[in-house]
Amino acid sequence: MAEVFRAEAIFEAGDTHSVAIKRVLPALAHETMYRSMFEDEARLGMLLRHPNIVRVYDAREVAGTFIMIMELVDGTSLKDMLDAAHAREACMPVPTALHVIRDIAKGLDYAHVAADAEGTHLGIIHRDVSPHNVLLGKDGGVKLADFGLANAKVHQTLRSSELVGGKLGYLAPEVILQRPTDQRIDLFAAGIVLWEMLAGRRLFQGKDDAETVRNVVRKAIEPVSSFNRAVPPRVEAIVRRALDRNPDKRYRSARMLLEDVEEALGEIDRDVGPKDVSLLVGLHLAGKRQRARRLGGLDLLAQELDAFVHAAEGSEYDIGAAPLDPADFGGIMPSGVRPRPSDPPSRRPGDPDWYDPDR
């Protein structure tokens, strides 16, 4: 429903600061529901102040559309990094994966218990915790983004109870089965993210949406240690509890998940932290630059678009957009192609390996 630009905020004294500007897509700017949801996201974002949540500085109407001015995270998304790793079935180092999930849990714990200025509990549920919405900075920061699908008492948009928001491969079973939900659905999603970082592959992704949904509800969840022998029993137990399909057996709060992760890190690697995330981000971005130099700018764009469109067919984000004009892309896009956000990764030779569990 939106697009994001990198920009420079210019202050009265002449100082500048890099920011991100998120804008409602022009085609949706006059749609009441999308506009209202976007305003809800902005309103909530300006209330949240936490180092592990992307900050929203301001929101306003400009030239007939609605924008948010947001914190710019200079780095990459966890999805982009995992796509490259999963193409090689590479695993993230266990301590670093735990550090990332620790920071995600910190952000969720803050959001789940947040209150307004009068002390009223906001009742926030993110509902879209996934690698897409975890941003990793070159400085090693880990930030949870995009509260556009969140539940919160400050929201004004009236949504249908039958509306299922979020990415299918990261939904909790009770969401798909349309049973009552609470903040524990965010913890199930965090468990999926942790499993995928440690296993070097997707957990529930199927060949199509229907299979993905069935997998979330019924697929046997293999122990992550069967894919990564470096995962100790203590960490396996954390993953297993977070992924329990019975919400009553799952972690009851992000604080409980955070405490278990902290204890595990105390046994495995007390010194892991932002420097380790920074190293992985640097390796990942260096690999992308290397491919860009090897392929050349237009060739790389053509390859990325081809993989993007191919992977999107039948994906969970097949939104049926209108065909784009090939001229908009320098003539490299085949006529009639409908690019859509996609989930499945594409293999990218030359990506540096993070971790080999056999070493």
Could you report the average pLDDT of every consecutive run of 10 residues in the chain (359 residues)? 90 90 85 82 91 94 87 96 92 97 98 89 93 97 90 63 73 93 96 97 94 95 96 98 97 98 96 96 89 67 64 44 37 36 38 43
Phi then psi for residue 189, to 5 deg, are: -60, -40
Instruction: Provide the phi-psi class of 77: left if phi over 0, else alpha when psi is between -120 and 50, else beta.
Output: beta
**Distances, alpha carbon 315 to alpha carbons 79, 163, 207, 208, 304, in Å:** 15, 18, 9, 6, 17
* The amino acid at 126: H
Report the alpha-carbon angle 313-215-343, nearest 5: 30
- Specify the pLDDT at position 321: 37
Q: Which residues are catalytic?
A: 128
Report pLDDT for 311: 54
Q: Can you name the residues that pair with 3 across neighbouring β-strands?
A: 23
117: how many CB neighbours lie within 10 A of its CB?
A: 6
User: In angstroms, rounded to a whole number, what is the distance separating the alpha carbons of residues 133 and 3?
Assistant: 14
Place of tokens 């995009």: 146
Q: Where are the alpha helices (DSSP H) in 72-157?
A: 78-86, 94-113
**Joined tokens for residue 15:** 């100082």
Task: Record the pTM.
Answer: 0.80
Q: Is residue 195 within 8 Å of 238, Cβ to Cβ?
A: no
Element (H, E) at 334: none
The two structure tokens encoding residue 324 = 């784009």
So what's the pLDDT on residue 33? 80
